Amino acid sequence: MTKRHYTGSCACKRITFEADIDFSAGTHKCNCTSCWKRRWWSVKAAPEDFRVLTGGDAMGPDGRSCATCGVVLFRHAPVADWNPTAYVSVSVASLDDLAPEELLAAKVTYYDGRADNWWSTPAEVRHL
């Protein structure tokens, strides 16, 4: 496990955050309608490794996007039946200091949310 410190923001820079993330643990893409329409590509951060720095009051009503520019930055995933460990799902596109080479080197895990078969890889993933 090799965590590295990253900073991130929305498009208008009202919301900024920092996170310590281990890209060697992989990234995630899903084919469910929500993820597909947002082109969501995420990486997990432990809740204690994630901090909103500025603009917490600028969050939209969903608590994960900027009310001004609309960029979805992250979402908190609490402990649930399907999720034994809480985490923050961070949009890789919102990370300001992530080198493309580092992102491309990270493993991607795909989820078949469209078929409600979350523990399987969809038959086709090239479009994700």
Category of 51 on φ-ψ map: left (φ > 0), alpha (ψ -120 to 50) or beta: beta
The token pair at 13 is 């820079």
Residue 31 burial (CB count, 10 A) = 19
pLDDT the model gives residue 62: 87
Summarize pLDDT for 58-78 with one digit per residue, the tens: 999 888 899 999 999 999 988
Q: Which residues pair with 103 in a beta bridge?
A: none
Give the separation between CA 21 and CA 38, rounded to whole angstroms.
Answer: 22
**What predicted TM-score, i.e. pTM, was given to this entire model?**
0.90
Give the separation between CA 127 and CA 48, rounded to whole angstroms.
Answer: 33
Summarize pLDDT for 77-90 with one digit per residue, the tens: 888 777 789 999 99
